[in-house]
Amino acid sequence: MFVTFSSRPTSDLTLQFDLIEGQEPVYVQEHKEMPADNADGDQTFQVIDHTGDFPAASAFAVINNIPVTPEGREAFEERFLNRARMIEEEPGFRAIRVLRPLQGDTYRILTFWETEADFANWQQSKAYEKAHQKRHTPQGMDQQKPSIFAGASFVTKYHVQQSEEV
């Protein structure tokens, strides 16, 4: 599976991501096979892990953008493939996609929630605590030497709706 992020809608299956800070919308589409062509500015990622379905109606989306060094890719992917999978049991959780970049170094962890409050509640949950329990400890990926991270990670949050444009 693949996911493409674009500055314009490409089909009736496209989701429109409206950035909370009010920037231009981003259009997101999931594909079963590698898309044949990308327009300038489109970014396609390979799905390496997933649970749940893209929302059919409105939702809240969070993307954790994580730059990873070429040497760190294997360890990073292994960590996500062997995650505790507790997020799937959280109230309001809809879906997750762990996305490997086809170009560049930034992985994206895309999660969909019923509401922004559901996401905030997860951040305060025991499941979140367990998922991040090794952070800032000698066993944490953030403490490995040399670092597997190519830069600082950042989070973007969106309100999601079906695109009305085709």
The tens digit of pLDDT for each residue in 20-61 reads 655 677 778 788 888 776 666 688 899 999 999 888 778 899
Q: What is the pLDDT of residues 91-142, one digit of tens each?
A: 999 999 999 999 999 999 999 999 999 999 988 988 778 776 666 566 656 5
**Could you tell me the two tokens for 76?**
């990073």
Q: For 69-98, b where at least 16 C-beta lie within 10 A, e where not — what string? A: eeebeeebbeeeeeeeebbeebebbbbbbb
Residue 154 CA to chain centroid, in angstroms? 11
What are the CA-CA distances from residue 142 to residues 31, 63, 64, 75, 136 (Å)? 32, 19, 15, 12, 7
Half-sphere exposure of residue 67: CA atoms within 13 angstroms, side-chain side: 8
Report whether the peptide linkage leading into residue 70 is cis, meaning its omega lies within 30 degrees of zero: no
Please name the fold of domain 2-162. Answer: Alpha-Beta Plaits (3.30.70)
Position 166 pLDDT exceeds 50: no
Domain chopping of the chain, boundaries: 2-162
- The reported pLDDT for the residue numbered 133 is 65
Longest Cα–Cα distance in the chain: 50
Record the pTM. Answer: 0.83
